[in-house]
Amino acid sequence: MPQIAFCFLNTNAIVLDNDRLKLAFIRTINSKVRMIFIQVAPPQMSNVVTMMCGACSNENAMKHMFISYQRKIRGNDTDYTETEMKTSITNLPPGCPELSILSFYESFHGRTLGALSVTHSKAIHKLDFPAFDWPIAHFPKYKYPLNENMCENDKEDDRCLAEVEELIEKYRKKGKPVAGIIVEPIQAEGGDNEASPIFFQKLQLIAKQNSASLLIDEVQTGCGVTGKMWCHEYFNLPTPPDLVTFSKKMQVGGYYHTAEMKPSLSYRIFNTWMGDPGKLLILEEVLNVMQQEKLIENVNKVGKKLMNELFHLQYEFPSVINSVRGRGTFLAFNAADSKMRQKLILKLQELGINIGVCGERSIRLRPALTFQERQASMFLDALRGAITLVLA
């Protein structure tokens, strides 16, 4: 009877549960996923899991790291003991092991409960929510200009990396071994903090030496805004990161992972929708436009102009702005202090410029990939005007 009712209520030429129709839909979606995501995949990463947003992408990518870590201990990820199966139901070890993820101060990885445990930028994001006891290391804080402070910044890299190693050992002794490390190529919400390729290369090595996975969160930096499709391509890592998350400009959330990270069992990583198939069509057209209009080349050209002019402004007005930094058009600079930043923001708004902030005193640029040199000139003129008004 239900089958008859289904047929009566269906207004399509072919009923929706027709096997050939369902197979055609599945083939179309699978083909789209392969064609769209793999063409822009990070080098040597041919596996992708789609999600809805950046937070759930990081949340599930962290679960993926736990699966990988336990597989290394077990020798596989299918031979579970009866005790493991039973204790997992009540959140107890060995079924739910005491593992941890190492993150960095001033990071932002999302607002779901697990993602909040690795987010450390704004208190209002975390107030009232329970969190895991997981290690937090300091991310490098560089002195600018970079070419005038190489020695100090190298020491800063070494200091932060030494802390990472100390925390991994500390949590191993606590019985909460680090299963993975999550890090942004540029800490966006925390203040557009950047680190050197050497820092990331050594961080990857530390992860491998401790059987931990490396997850690079490209939710903000992915899809061409830094002048490459993926910001971590600047780091010249000897091997690919284990996982790379994405969302925002990519229209749909998700993460890439290496073949070695793939679980043996299905449903280990799963939810109702597993992303939004409709958004694939939007992403497909975004990528077509990016290629046809050479938008990544445009980002590099406009970014170079912005960076050069911002350097001139910081040398001309050192009491107002400093520490110009970034890649592509993913740029930022510091105001002298938070009060000066607020004055600049208000003056820029009066001049018709809407711009964002991050960290304690940073102002960040987040234009679209289509941002042109003439628009960059308009912004730079307005910024000069705002600085002049603040100093008047």
- 66, 104, 108, 371: the catalytic one is 108
Segment holding 243, helix H or strand E: strand 243-246
Q: Which whole-number Å values give the CA distances from 300 to 133, 196, 249, 355, in the listed order?
A: 41, 19, 17, 20
CA distance 56 to 91: 21
Smallest CA-to-CA distance from 232 within 180, 195, 205 is with: 195
Distances from the Cα of 318 to the Cα of 311, 334, 378, 382, 391, angstroms:
10, 10, 21, 17, 12
The yes-or-no answer on residue 248 being catalytic is yes
Separation between Cα atoms, residue 283 and residue 251, nearest integer Å? 6
Query: Which position among 37, 217, 221, 246 bears the catalytic label?
Result: 217
CB within 8 Å of 53: residues ≥ 6 apart = 110, 247, 253
Both ends of the chain: CA-CA distance in Å?
Answer: 81
Residue 34 structure tokens: 């392969």
Task: Report the C-alpha gap between 268 and 346 in whole angstroms.
Answer: 49
How far apart CA 385 and CA 392 sit, in angstroms, is: 10
The question of whether 108 is a catalytic residue gets the answer yes
The candidate with the shortest Cα–Cα distance to 287, out of 100, 40, 7, is 40
* Active-site pick, 248, 279, 301, 304: 248
Which is it for strands 243-246 and 213-217: parallel, antiparallel or unpaired? Answer: parallel
Residue of 8, 128, 173, 272 with catalytic role: 272
Q: Is 133 a catalytic residue?
A: no
301 part of the active site: no
Supply the DSSP string of 93-150, one letter for each residue. Answer: TTTS---EEEEETT----SSHHHHTT--S-HHHHTT-------EEPPP---SSGGG-H
Residues annotated as part of the active site: 108, 217, 248, 272
